Structure 1
Amino acid sequence: MSSEPIPPSAKEAASLPPPASSKASNNTLLGNNQLWTSPLDLFSYRHWMSDVDPQQSTMPLAAFCFMTGFIDSVSFTAIFVWCGFQTGNSVQLALALARLFSGPPGQRDTSFHIADQQALTSILTFIAGSAIGRIGDKMGAKTRAWLFIGTFIQALFTMAAALTAWKSGQGSVAEVRGNPAWTNALTFVSVGFMSASMGLQGIMGKRVNTQFATTVVLTTVWCELMADPKLFTFNKIVISRDHKVIAIVALFLGGFVGRAIIDATGAAAALGVGTGLRLLIAFWWLFVPGKQAAAGKS
């Protein structure tokens, strides 16, 4: 059975890559992870309203964890209250309530200690910040638009915390737990704005749904890390383990850097730096590849 020779043009065409499909081109940015995409694509509606790929969101989520340590270093150094870790604040309020029944009647401590007031402020504003995060459910919790806007709101909260801490005129470092450095009304407002930023960050991190969990409380991350069946598999990358390690290290570094800035320039300046970092993270979300782009590359 004879076969006709294939014309050179047909051979040439067969060797060419298949044309890009319309589906692959729908994702307007970072289809090839290049950061020089034109402004027309960067600011297009399609790009902003498309979802990021959670598997390629490692760096901004690690930056979220860094900010947890950074912000908490400010609040704990000044008043021994964690703006991001609400477990301790909840237990503190439970102990305050139990104190009302401690001792014989007539000799009980019924005062509302300032440390308990600060813990309650942190809890309530954390909840309020988390409630704002539900806006993302309407826009799309993984869309670049919401991740940018939500992180920008976090930056505004952090800026407000910096301004109120600065205007309060109080110090930044408490030497003993019973004598907090912050006691006036403006510092309560600062604590509230810091906690609100952490609440918003927590629900945003949770909605992205990765190994970083909420990016706020890492107790679960520690437990899951130690329970990981591939914890000691060192000859290959294990995302379930490695991303948890990144989260823990980032939070640790955030706390270290935050305290170093506080010692050098004070809490207000540290929160000012935190504001700038949150703005950088907000714009960072615009460059995270989308799911379609990631699939198109594989």
Structure 2
Amino acid sequence: MAEESLPSSSGSLSPDESRPFHRRFLTHFDTEIDAPGSTNLISIYACFLTGFTSAPSFSACFVWCGFQTGNVAQLGLAIARTFAPVGERTYGMQKPDQQALASLLSFWLGTSLGRLGDRLTAKKRTWLVLASFVQVLLAMAAALTAHFSGESGLATSRGVPSWQSPLGIAALSFLSATMGIQGIVGKRVGSPMNTTVVLTTTWVEIFNDPLLFAFRYTPSRDIRIAGGLAVLLGAFVSRAILDKIGSAQCLGVLCGFRMVQAIWWFFIPDKVVKKVEKA
């Protein structure tokens, strides 16, 4: 008796595809991403955001909201001035020193949220989207405080910085907090650019790469160089926008760029779980 042919399974849906869309979405939202393997492009984009975010703060008050080494050194100089010779001695913190301190404290607060990421799992899409969305809100708060401060956002000289009012310092603080969050996210996902915030270590790694002068695609070199150039491009674009429409509006554009990052995490491939077969 001839066997009855069974219908081909090629047109049937897999168990995962047959589930409702919202359940598949929630499952995808709760998975770990393939990191650092699939995060090279989004890490380069994060470097672009570093340049874009830093330009308004430096243009306003000569404070790098993400590069905190200089702020720590500046505070050391402020303390040292109390022991300077008479006539050069100053007491208390001058306005630039107050801005540097506000930036440093806010950066600390932002990066400390990485502890929440560790609880949720640092490479899980849930945390990465949440962290990016918080950065969107912080950038929005920076735009609003910069607008209502009534200041131009452009310093006339190092001695006369902008963002001197409480609202202006708040704008600087919100931007610094965003960079703190970005720093811990980059560190936890294992970005080739380390934290994607400070690139000093990245430059050291580039110029000590044994394949620095290789005439072929070299990920260890090329991805890091792309990150450094992305910072340059981000700062250039940000300053060009700032000159045209002002600092508050420039920070509004930053909100849009941050939202792109939040959405981007959904398209990073899932972590591949290798199954170990028992003998």
Instruction: Judge same fold: TM > 0.5, yes or no.
Output: yes
* More displaced 10-residue stretch of structure 1: 54-63 or 152-161: 54-63
Are 1:181 and 2:176 an aligned pair?
Answer: no
Cα separation, partners in 2 of 1:160 and 1:42, compared to 1, 3 Å: farther
Shift of 1:107: 6.5
Which of 252, 258, 275 aligns to 1:272? It is 252
- Counterpart position of 1:103: 85
CA offsets per residue over residues 193-218 of structure 1, 9 Å max, x none?
A: 00000001100110001212100000
CA offsets per residue over residues 27-76 of structure 1, 9 Å max, x none?
A: x9xxxxxxxxx9446622x3222211121112221121111101110000
- Counterpart position of 1:251: 231
* More displaced 10-residue stretch of structure 1: 46-55 or 124-133: 46-55
- Counterpart position of 1:79: 61
The question of whether the paired residues in 1 share the 8 Å contact of 2:29 and 2:125 is answered with yes
Matches within 5 A, 1:76-225: 76-104=58-86, 108-225=89-206
The question of whether the paired residues in 1 share the 8 Å contact of 2:47 and 2:231 is answered with yes
Any gaps of 5 or more consecutive residues in structure 2?
none
Whole-Å Cα distance in 2 between the matches of residues 207 and 130 of structure 1?
A: 11
Whole-Å Cα distance in 2 between the matches of residues 41 and 148 of structure 1?
A: 18
Secondary structure (helix, strand or coil) at the match of 2:37 reads helix
Shift of 1:291: 2.5
Query: Normalized against structure 1, the TM-score is what?
Result: 0.83
Secondary structure (helix, strand or coil) at the match of 1:134 reads helix
Secondary structure (helix, strand or coil) at the match of 2:207 reads helix
Show structure 1 runs of 4+ deviating over 3 A: 38-42
Whole-Å Cα distance in 2 between the matches of residues 42 and 74 of structure 1?
A: 40
RMSD (CA atoms)? 2.4
Which of 216, 229, 232 aligns to 2:213? It is 232
CA offsets per residue over residues 130-179 of structure 1, 9 Å max, x none?
A: 01122110011011111100010011101000000001111021131111
CA offsets per residue over residues 215-251 of structure 1, 9 Å max, x none?
A: 000011011000001111122x211111101110111
Which of 10, 32, 50 aligns to 2:31? It is 50
Any gaps of 5 or more consecutive residues in structure 1?
1-8, 10-16, 29-37
